[in-house]
Structure 1
Amino acid sequence: MNPQRIIVWLCIAGAVFLGGGWWTYHNNVAEPRRELRDELRSLEQRIERANRQSLDRMRSAGSVEDFAGRTLGSNSETVVHQLRVRLSELAEGTGLREISVGSRALGGVRNPAAGTSGASELRSREIRDRVDFQVARGTLTGTGELPAALTMLARIRQQPVLWRIRTVSLTPTRDRQRVNVSVEVETIYFPDVRSAGSPVVAGELDAGTARVVDKLSAARLFAPKPEPVRVVQEPPRQAAPTPPAPPAPQFDAWTVVGIVEGATGVQLWVERRGSGERQQLRPDEAHLGIRFVGVNGGRATVEVDGERYWLSVGDTLANRDRPVRGL
């Protein structure tokens, strides 16, 4: 036989042997091993997830028990009754009057995961649709002074009960001396967890809350508005009447009756008509504001308001027809 053929056949036989060996190893050894490894990894993941869930349940159970210790009970009848009792005690303890309290059950709150895209991971339909907790609501109304109403609200917040103030209303009465207070609270409870009920805390307010209450009370938010100050205006004082001006000098009632020149000097004689009263003026003497200056050419010179005039016998002192010029 041709040696080349022998070599070719040997190569083919070797390839067939190797291929068959690889196939046998892959199907009988490698593949089962890989499947076992994947299954082992899946089991490890499931165990780890189960451990986490177990730890979460333990923590959740502890948290639920802690929360349950702050509820008013574990069934609707107890919770609704206790809610009404607690609100009444808090209102009466702060001095409110005309108190009215009501309470009722509102129903359950389901698992928030229900209906979401991730809810398919909760394989148990019972877990998916289970009610997580129940809700009850209470209302309180009353009347009192503002400090009492604020203290009552602060004490509601101070209670360790799992509740929240939903609405608050403070309205002044007609005389604004008191306020009408209205409060609405909601509380939760867990029907499947036993609870002895949260104790009432009726002690003094903590220092910070007390300061806030005192500050708001001192502000007198609803105090009556002070009446406006009425300013009484005094009637205007009438000014004293201006005294009448003195009568104007009657210059025309005085007539020049003489211009005398003698050894003793010159004189101007004037006389009042009707009465005969006579004045004899020497130079620089005045009568009725008219100053006698002197005589010149048989005429008297007089000065009135800084102006000089000539007067002759028979003229009145009112004569201003002949002013003196050029002197």
Structure 2
Amino acid sequence: MTERNISMVVEFILLGFSELPSLQGFLFGIFLFIYTSILVGNGLIIVITKVTAALQTPMYFFLGNFSFLEICYTSVTIPRMLSDLWTQKKNISLPACAVQLGFLLSLGGSESFFLAVMAYDRYVAICKPLYYPLIMNPPKCLQLVSGAWIIGIPIQVAQTCQLFSLSFCGSNKLNHVFCDIPPLLKLACGDTSLNELSVYGGATIFVTFPALLILWSYSKIIKTILKLPSAMGRRKAFSTCSSHLIVVGLFYGSGFIAYFRPKSSHSPEVDKVLALFYTIVTPLFNPLIYTLRNRDVIIAIKQLVSK
């Protein structure tokens, strides 16, 4: 038998957008603008849902928490991306990579269930309006928000620990913009079939199950809206729900493509685009969608600015 020296990986090199060396400064400016917009836009929603008396309802309570979640979610990845683009030092240690992935998965799971909770809120408001104050009482809202925040932590932390219990040998070049499961599995040594199975299991729990709940809620909502006698009432109900549906489509659409498409069709370039879509685009458009399409929010912003 011959012995071979296997160099174990102690840190990764995040390649990011290294194939575009002439655009590093431009990309830094773009991502800085996006991150600032996310902080300002979602921060504004948090403020107006706290200080505006007309917005002290379950819908805006969920929206304020969702906006805070969006800030936390993007802060896991974008500051690191900005640092890499500015300093060109793209190395990240295994513990730092594990921490980033753990937060990313946990907050991503929370976002998925937050969207389901918000769909349930719209279902109760439109399909059972007389019972809405009774069902969506303050303790119930607090329970739903707390559950959405913490439901993903144990499973996603366990999945992260399982992934980083693998050995990484050979290349330490992670062809991605941040630490994510698919590119990490490509660098792992040995059999990763169990890890791949757990990825599909986690995606089923945190993507498929909430998506089915949302589809069920909106199937009931649409049936109820179509029965409304007033055209204006139908238009108002559709307008209220369409904002949430746009956010749902952006988040789940990219998530489904990223985690459920065949492994043979994976490519680093497509993975990077999809990752940016479900970690950056949705939080960026969230304030625009909920403000430009919501008359109550626009009025609250105007009142806040005038004060």
User: Shorter chain as normaliser: what TM range?
Assistant: under 0.3
Please give the TM-score of this superposition, normalised by the length of structure 2: 0.21
Larger radius of gyration: 1
Kindly indicate which of the two structures has a greater share of residues assigned to helix: 2
Please give the TM-score of this superposition, normalised by the length of structure 1: 0.20
